[in-house]
Amino acid sequence: MALHNIIKNHNSVSYTPGVWNAFYTTDDKPNGTVWDMYSDIPDGSANGNPPYVYTFGTDQCGTASAEGDCYSREHSFPKSWFNDASPMYTDLFHIIPADQYVNNQRSNYPYGEVNNPAWTSLNGSKKGPCVTPGYTGTVFEPRDEYKGDLARIYFYMAVRYYTEDASWPGSPMVDGSQLKGWALTMLMAWNQMDPVSTKEVDRNNAIYAIQNNRNPFIDHPEYVAGIWDPNSGISGEPGLYPTNFSSHSIHLQWIDATGTMLPDGYLIRMSSTGFADIPVPVDGVLVPNGPNDRNVLYGVEDAWFENLNPNTTYYFKVYGYTFTATGIDYKTDGPVTQTRQTTQP
């Protein structure tokens, strides 16, 4: 909820031409061509090794008869899962440029893992029966190099639309915006397997310039475990507030001594039976801090006594001293500053 409150209410763009225009900065390769995760084959170079290359604007389309025809706007979190509603419909974090033919093959199937594909794209993305434990329906599996990218998109959707998804129909992969168990386990593994890349960082910054919000799981991928992994070592929000305030403590405050021979500190001694029962300190014998004694340096001017009995009167005397250890010299002559206070029931 804390992250949701930070990234909600983003600036929405139009579907046409807003999303098309955004791709020029959100999903461009270093050479200026379209970065399509459904067709690219990363090879260690900045521009990868795609089987075909798209030019922004001139190669965009809405229909295709084969791979390599043109690119379109792919809702990686399918729009049917949120009833084609706004602002999800144009949220750039989950809309990616993708080969139109591959986009049609993916349809609105969940992401998953496939051993025996019914169809394989030119970059090795696969469609077929899911082998990820917990689901056996048809899924679409992207290349390993982009699994983390898509996982962090889904974690963004779960947080950005947390508590705003009551009317979403969902899918075999999500309840509203929230991942089902099998999908959550798989995407957490993808998040670990494929760490955040420079591509994602650049895309996050480019979308921030347009929408004025960010994907927190690109900035902080460790938040995934912090939110969804019960064994992460990061505690969640506590369940309850404190039951009440405790008044079984006493806070003493005073004004420092003035004049010549200022003390180095003070020994504050306490008794629950009376001033007469407070022992006078002895020069050369340092009194350590304890339940009934506090040593406070000159200039601090306060001390706490805690874990006291309720509805009880306590008596205090304050002795100034100079030096410390075996050379400590207490002021014990003349009137000693003293006070009494009573704790609440």
pLDDT band at 66 (very low <50, low <70, confident <90, very high): very high
Task: Provide the residue ranges of all domains of the chain, joining segments of one domain with +.
Answer: 2-228, 250-342
Q: Indicate if the alpha-carbon torsion angle 115, 119, 123, 129 is positive or negative.
A: negative
User: Mind listing the pLDDT tens digit for each residue in 86-119?
Assistant: 999 999 999 999 999 999 999 999 999 999 999 9
Contact between residue 49 and residue 41 where contact means Cβ atoms under 8 Å apart: yes
pLDDT band at 324 (very low <50, low <70, confident <90, very high): confident
CATH number of 250-342: 2.60.40
User: Mind listing the pLDDT tens digit for each residue in 149-190?
Assistant: 999 999 999 999 999 999 999 999 999 999 999 999 999 999
Reply yes or no on whether the pLDDT at 212 is more than 70. yes
User: Mind listing the pLDDT tens digit for each residue in 282-305?
Assistant: 999 999 999 999 999 999 999 999
User: CA of 60: how far to CAs of 91, 158, 165, 272, 279, in Å?
Assistant: 19, 29, 31, 84, 90
pLDDT at 235: 63
Mean residue pLDDT of the chain comes to: 94
